[in-house]
Amino acid sequence: AQSVAQPEDQVNVAEGNPLTVKCTYSVSGNPYLFWYVQYPNRGLQFLLKYITGDNLVKGSYGFEAEFNKSQTSFHLKKPSALVSDSALYFCAVRDSYTGRRALTFGSGTRLQVQP
Amino acid sequence: GAVVSQHPSRVICKSGTSVKIECRSLDFQATTMFWYRQFPKQSLMLMATSNEGSKATYEQGVEKDKFLINHASLTLSTLTVTSAHPEDSSFYICSAFISGGPSDTQYFGPGTRLTVL
């Protein structure tokens, strides 16, 4: 079975500082990894994905994530946080081995960027 | 980019009534759509996989007779909550893959907030 862990319920950073939102995963085969962002009462917006290739993936709004196979992690990062980045962030995984196309989501991490 | 819409965005109904939620892919065709449910301050839980022209596949613990799914065309899937009860109050979100495109990215609708009184 596939699973995703987001160990932090909330991350607080000051505007302009770098941010990291942590994610670890567990799958049987090769992982397809995703980050989505959710604003209040809204659906999920796609940020970035890792399927294969370079371990460092760049996505929307200046976000990036690094795939680390040995640590089974896919942490989301941004060099300089904005107040407008404050939202709920979800990490998700899909197992390429099973062929199951549905995503398994982590519990979410609320990012709060203080001005 | 790929756009998925949901209608209505918000619905309030009385206990015992049925509510239909529509999920549409606006600029692409989707043979597969997914329905998720999100409780307050919690993650998304997959309810079912909606397949165009065939029966939906439900996750364990999801009552198929209560949550009716119909995927009648390549751009529309509907979720009907039958005989709704207050515990069905939740945020329902659909997603879709682009048919024939890279099958690795799901595009999500804006969600429907259901409140059952």
Position A86 confidence tier, pLDDT thresholds 50, 70, 90: very high
User: Cβ B43–A105 below 8 Å, yes or no?
Assistant: yes
- Between A21 and B50, residue with greater pLDDT: A21
Is the pLDDT at A101 greater than 70, yes or no? yes
Contact yes or no for A112/A11 (Cβ under 8 A): yes
* B44 contact A CB<8A: yes
Is the pLDDT at A36 greater than 80, yes or no? yes
The CA radius of gyration of chain B, in Å to the nearest whole number, is 13
The mean per-residue pLDDT over the stretch A71-93 comes to 96
Annotate A22-34 with DSSP letters as a single string.
--EEE-SS-EEEE
Interface-testing mutation among B44, B47, B99, B114, with chain A (most A C-beta atoms within 10 A): B44
User: Residue B108 contacts by C-beta under 8 Å, 6 or more apart in sequence?
Assistant: A36, A43, A44, A45, A46, B4, B93, B94, B95
Q: Name the closest residue on chain A to residue B97, using Cα atoms.
A: A101
Q: How many CB atoms lie within 10 A of CB B73?
A: 13
pLDDT at A96: 74
The number of C-beta contacts closer than 8 angstroms across A and B is 51
Is the pLDDT at A16 greater than 70, yes or no? yes
Is the pLDDT at B21 greater than 70, yes or no? yes
Position B72 confidence tier, pLDDT thresholds 50, 70, 90: confident
* Cα of A47 to nearest chain B Cα, Å: 11
- Between A42 and B117, residue with greater pLDDT: B117
Interface-testing mutation among A23, A32, A42, with chain B (most B C-beta atoms within 10 A): A42
pLDDT at A18: 97
User: Residue B78 contacts by C-beta under 8 Å, 6 or more apart in sequence?
Assistant: B20, B21, B22, B23, B69, B70, B71, B72
Is the pLDDT at B103 greater than 70, yes or no? no
- Between B54 and A17, residue with greater pLDDT: A17
